[in-house]
Amino acid sequence: MTYRAGFDVGGTNARVQLFDATLKGVDRRRRRVRGATSPDDIAQSLTQLLVEVCDDNGVAVDAVDAVGIGLAGQLSTDGHTVHNAPNLGWRDVDFVERFADHLRKEQHLKSPPSIRLVNDLNAQLWGEYLGGAVEAVDDVLAVYVGTGIGGAILADGHLVTGADANAGEIGHSKVVIGGRPCGCGESGCVEAYAGGIHLERRVAELVDAADDEALAAVSTESGVDLGAADALADSHDQIGQIWEEATDYLAIIVANAATLLNPAALLIGGGVLDNCETFRAMTLQKTIPLILEVARRNLVVEQASLGDVAGMLGAADLAAMEVTR
């Protein structure tokens, strides 16, 4: 019996899900990685997670033949190197080689499994395509608004990766020339107006500037509660204005991408679109009419349904495809 593993590596947590050869979930584990995000720290954490989930389920580590690792960032086309992962602070790291080294040394594996890095949004879209909200829908535009804004494209049943594996970076589409600075180092990106971190920053500026009891409710010890801000968007003018501007820009970018690609489904997800109902409704109300009529006629909107399993499922399957190729 062979097994597959899918990882989801973020700046706060690393998760693993073990699957059998038919991609049925066996078990999962999670580990906090915040503050210990050097490539060797993460390689060690992933090794321990893999060993733990295998041991606890009576599976030999060398029975796992494919390991997919979903992470946010720019990756090499061969799925071995991380060119830039801002939330981990990595630049040009051959992570696959390092992870394989840890498995060799710590687990005495003569031949480590086939390991592949996968862009997190591609992994999530692929997971939802395999068994989630867009199961068997061959043409999909995925847009996730969470901390940042990410996207992925499925065309004719294939992920569109682009010449340098960077297709789908919808969050860094420009909406204002010389506009707000973005986490990518450039300015005027839609993410700088509608991404979660930027929405939080703008709401925090309001909270600091005004002595306003209604606004105090959105400010918690750990920062701005965007869900609470969203609940005020209809009644509080200034929050409403931020939401209007953010969803205007987001709608233009998403609608233009849908006009360009003519997908059968628009898949939406991410913390902001999942938890901020008003923000989501405003975005969709503005987006749909902006799509060219012939491209919108049969378009369906689906909300991601597998949660964080999607990325691990997608990454595991994409890695397994390398083994069977």
User: Which positions touch Zn ion (CB under 5 A)?
Assistant: 172, 182, 184, 186, 189
Dist. CA 31–CA 38, nearest whole Å: 15
Minimum distance between the CB of residue 274 and Zn ion, rounded to whole angstroms? 22
Amino acid at 17: Q
Cα separation of 277 and 286, whole Å? 14
The least distance separating Zn ion from the CB of residue 19, rounded to whole angstroms, comes to 34
**Pick 78 or 186: Cβ nearer Zn ion:** 186
| Residue 139 beta carbon to Zn ion: minimum distance, rounded to whole angstroms | 26
Task: Compute the least distance from the CB of residue 126 to Zn ion, in Å.
Answer: 24
Tokens in use for 203? 């709401």
- Minimum CB–partner distance for residue 69 and Zn ion (Å): 23
| Tokens 């062979």 belong to residue | 2
Task: Using the minimum distance from each CB to Zn ion, give the nearer residue, 15 or 172.
Answer: 172
Closest to Zn ion by CB, 128 or 169: 169
Q: Which is nearer to Zn ion, 175 or 189 (CB)?
A: 189
How far, in Å, CA of 152 to CA of 165, rounded?
11
Residue 295 phi, psi (nearest 5): -90, -15
Nearer to Zn ion, 6 or 168 (CB): 168
Q: How far apart are CA 244 and CA 48, in angstroms?
A: 45
Judged by CB, which is closer to Zn ion: 45, or 119?
Answer: 119
**Residues linked to residue 30 through DSSP beta bridges, in sequence order:** 15
Shortest separation between residue 242's beta carbon and Zn ion, angstroms = 18
Cβ-based neighbours of 276, under 8 Å, separated by 6 or more: 226, 227, 229, 230
Question: CA–CA distance from 254 to each of 140, 166, 178, 288 (Å)?
Answer: 12, 17, 21, 9
Q: Which is nearer to Zn ion, 172 or 280 (CB)?
A: 172
Residue 136: left (phi > 0), alpha (psi -120 to 50), or beta?
left
- Nearest distance from C-beta of residue 257 to Zn ion, angstroms: 15
Closest of 68, 254, 11, 17 to residue 153, by C-alpha: 254
| Token digits of residue 313 | 């499922």
